[in-house]
Amino acid sequence: MNLACPIELGDLAERLAGTCVGNPHLLLTGVNGLAEAQRGELTFFTNQRYRDHLATTQASAVILKEEALEHFPLAEGKGAIVCGDPYLAFAKASSLFHPAPVFEPGIDSRAIVEPGAQIDPTATVMACAYVGKGAIVGPHAVLFPFVFVGEDARIQSRALLYPGVVVRERCVIGEGSILQPGVTIGGDGFGFAFDASVPCHFKIPQAGTVEIGREVEIGAGSAIDRATLGVTRIGDGTKIDNLVQIGHNVTVGPLSILCGQVGIAGSSSLGKGVICGGQVGLGNHLHICDGTRLGPKSGVMADVTEPGEYLGVPLVKARDFMRQQVAIQKGPDTLKALQKLERRVAELEAKLEAINEK
């Protein structure tokens, strides 16, 4: 669905700091994928495997790099925007056609706001949301239905909390951060001490808190545990996918990316700009240095002190992992060759022994 008014190709190119190719007055009414786009719509091209789609797309305009222009037929009624990063440019263009929703400020009469809570007049608190005693909800923050904000928690300006989000006591959500449905911030960390005299797993009080930085986004169903003591901290600009588990006292550096089903055990720390592919698992008390990229399903059991790309269980550099996989695939043939060689050696040894006996 395209929500904004049409925009001219030349105007859009200027906004995106790109170069307009074709009629600058060509009207664009929306955005769509390369294969799905229709007349009047804008799309983008970055992946060479879709080059055939570029040649046949019905889109009126495409955002692409200059070298891809030769594969896009610039017929009448079509145009292009040439730029260095088409994907980023398309994201910005899409935001023009799909502007962020505007919410009516105020507190719904069906919301529950405890005495002592402070809610900015420009904030929006929808029906069935709960705001605990001493909590603060900042300017232009939005709480959807069934959001729980615990005692003394702080929701800073422009934060957006979708239905079912839980922010427990004393936790902080930074400016402009987005929490998708079902996110839990500040649940108890997984801390127990075994008492053999009972026997039982004795629960360690989780007395710390969680601080979410500015412009962080956390995907649906993810959980970030409160610290045992001190703070579990997520750095500014970090993006977290669905169903991610972050343990107590973890620190995630700014501008990091955690893909779906990542699990980080307690007291580990990630530096700036760390990328974790899907289902990456980190043990406790580990440190991952700035700029590290961990491939999908990697199992991290030791510190990573040198930036680069890593894969596997246990973790190795990506190029070494690829060599290992090649060796594994060649394993059956290598084994057959070795067995053949062993038989040949045995035959030669037998012949040599027979000669020596003579």
Q: Which phi and psi (to 5°) does residue 224 adopt?
A: -125, 115
In whole angstroms, what is the distance from residue 101 CA to residue 240 CA?
22
- The span from the CA of 133 to the CA of 113, in Å, is 8
Q: Kindly name the residue from 71, 140, 248, 287 that is annotated as catalytic.
A: 248
Residue 270 has φ and ψ, to the nearest 5°, of -115, 135
Whether residue 140 lies in the annotated active site: no
Report yes or no: 63 and 80 within 8 Å, Cβ to Cβ: yes
Question: What is the 8-class DSSP label of residue 306?
Answer: S
Side-chain half-sphere exposure of 328, counting CA atoms within 13 A: 6
The pair of three-digit structure tokens given for residue 316, joined into one six-digit string: 């190795």
Cis bond before residue 314 (omega within 30° of 0): yes
Report whether 161 contacts 179 (CB < 8 A). yes
Residue in the structure block whose two tokens are 């904004």: 4
Query: What amino acid positions are annotated as catalytic residues?
Result: 248
